[in-house]
């Protein structure tokens, strides 16, 4: 028995045995290192006697309800859980615990053994992985979803649409005069223009819609459960609100933003690239004609008056011969 104890004391994992009353009968050196409590301080005590005071990730005490040791003693099964123990100095330590029953020669449960290890490294690795995953789908400048996320979301939305889901559409936005802002006032001014446009677009769209940075000075929005009328209203709203958005340049003066937008309703035969391409064509046609709105249910559209101010052009209804084909 002493040999086994020596071997267990060489483990970095904490190991302790309890009887049926959860009274601690053995406490290895690893347990002492992880908790701050020596064997002399814990032997004969019960783990729930204001000792380790395990809690779950929400801070709920487990000693009276949800304790892996209690569950093991009750059902004779193996139990595994991620919990937080209280160190002798007061801090909470994340640990993974594994509990197994101890049986006598007749198979009667006489106690349990708990093995626990510091889970800090695993939690930190999980956090880093989540952060890396978030960054993989996030545009770091605007803090909106990036193109990769938008492409995945659009493919999923089209699959749902083809399976009989609600209609959807896309809106492609492009900042007007973006190159001139960069050339005249510097790239930091261009960055501020993108950030302010991104914030305005995110606030202008509905909660069910997804908007992100498509690349450069372009943004793309995926609008769920839309009709021709709703999609057009979203385009008009975004154009009008961005047209009321100002940003300060390094040249020292505030500038007003404006965008060109093209939008398209999904067709049964659309793939993601085709749907975006149709909206993109209309957006660039709109941009060339200096209008603030282009509507693309089909490939025919009339641009708003080039002499109108963005907020006025935003109100213009662009005629189309057909919205479905």
The residue to which tokens 């890396």 are assigned: 132
Beta strands in the chain (DSSP E): 14-19, 24-27, 79-86, 92-103, 109-118, 168-175, 210-215, 218-224, 246-248, 254-256, 259-265, 294-296
Residues contacting 297, CB < 8 A, separation 6+: 228, 264, 265, 320, 322, 323, 324
In the structure encoding, which two tokens stand for residue 92, read together?
A: 């909470």
Q: What is the pLDDT of residue 20?
A: 93
C-alpha span between 293 and 12 (Å, rounded): 66
> How many Cα atoms within 13 Å fall on the side-chain side of residue 167?
15
Q: Sign (positive/negative) of CA torsion 246, 207, 164, 151?
A: positive
Burial 10-33 (b: 16+ CB within 10 A, else e): eeebbbbbbeeebebebbbbbbbe
pLDDT at residue 128, rounded to an integer: 74
What are the pLDDT tens digits along the chain (325 aa)? Answer: 566 677 888 888 999 999 999 999 999 999 999 999 999 999 999 877 778 888 888 888 888 788 899 999 999 999 999 999 989 998 899 999 999 999 999 999 999 999 999 888 777 777 777 776 777 898 989 999 999 999 999 999 999 999 887 899 999 999 998 888 888 888 888 899 999 999 999 999 998 999 999 999 999 999 999 998 999 999 999 998 998 888 888 887 778 888 999 999 999 889 999 999 999 998 988 887 754 444 443 333 433 333 344 443 333 333 232 233 2
Domains contained in the chain, CATH given: 2-124 (3.30.450.20), 137-313 (3.30.70.270)
Query: Which helix (H) or strand (E) element contains residue 195?
Result: helix 187-204
Q: What's the pLDDT score for residue 307? A: 39
Rg (CA), the chain: 31
Q: Give the model's pLDDT for residue 309.
A: 40
> In a 3-state reduction of DSSP, which class is residue 208?
coil
What's the pLDDT at 305?
Answer: 35
Query: pTM of this prediction?
Result: 0.56
Q: How far is CA 4 from the centre of its chain?
A: 47
């Amino acid at each position: 028995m002493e040999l086994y104890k020596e071997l267990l004391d060489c483990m970095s994992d904490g190991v302790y045995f309890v009887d049926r009353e959860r009274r601690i009968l053995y406490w290895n050196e690893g347990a002492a290192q992880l908790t701050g409590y020596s064997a002399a301080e814990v032997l004969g005590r019960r783990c729930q006697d204001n000792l380790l005071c395990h809690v779950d990730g929400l801070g709920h005490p487990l000693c009276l309800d949800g304790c892996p040791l209690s569950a093991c003693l009750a059902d004779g099964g193996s139990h595994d859980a991620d919990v937080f123990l209280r160190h002798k100095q007061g801090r909470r330590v994340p640990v993974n615990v594994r509990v197994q029953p101890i049986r006598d020669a007749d198979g009667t449960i006489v106690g349990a053994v708990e093995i626990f290890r510091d889970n800090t490294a695993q939690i930190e690795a999980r956090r880093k992985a989540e952060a890396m995953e978030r960054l993989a789908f996030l545009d770091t400048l605007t803090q909106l979803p990036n193109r990769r996320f938008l492409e995945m979301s659009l493919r999923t939305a089209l699959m749902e649409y083809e399976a009989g889901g609600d209609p959807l559409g896309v809106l492609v936005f492009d900042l007007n005069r973006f190159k001139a802002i960069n050339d005249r006032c510097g790239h930091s001014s261009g960055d501020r223009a993108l950030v302010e446009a991104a914030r305005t677009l995110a606030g202008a769209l509905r909660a069910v819609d997804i908007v992100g940075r498509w690349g450069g000075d372009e943004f793309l929005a995926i609008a769920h459960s839309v009709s021709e009328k709703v999609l057009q209203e979203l385009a008009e709203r975004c154009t009008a609100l961005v047209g009321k958005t100002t940003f300060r340049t390094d040249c020292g003066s505030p500038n007003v933003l404006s965008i060109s937008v093209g939008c398209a309703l999904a067709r049964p035969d659309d793939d993601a690239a085709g749907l975006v391409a149709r909206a993109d064509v209309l957006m660039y046609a709109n941009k060339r004609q200096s209008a603030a709105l282009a509507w693309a249910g089909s490939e025919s559209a009339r641009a708003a008056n080039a002499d109108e101010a963005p907020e006025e052009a935003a109100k213009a209804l662009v005629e189309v011969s057909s919205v479905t084909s």
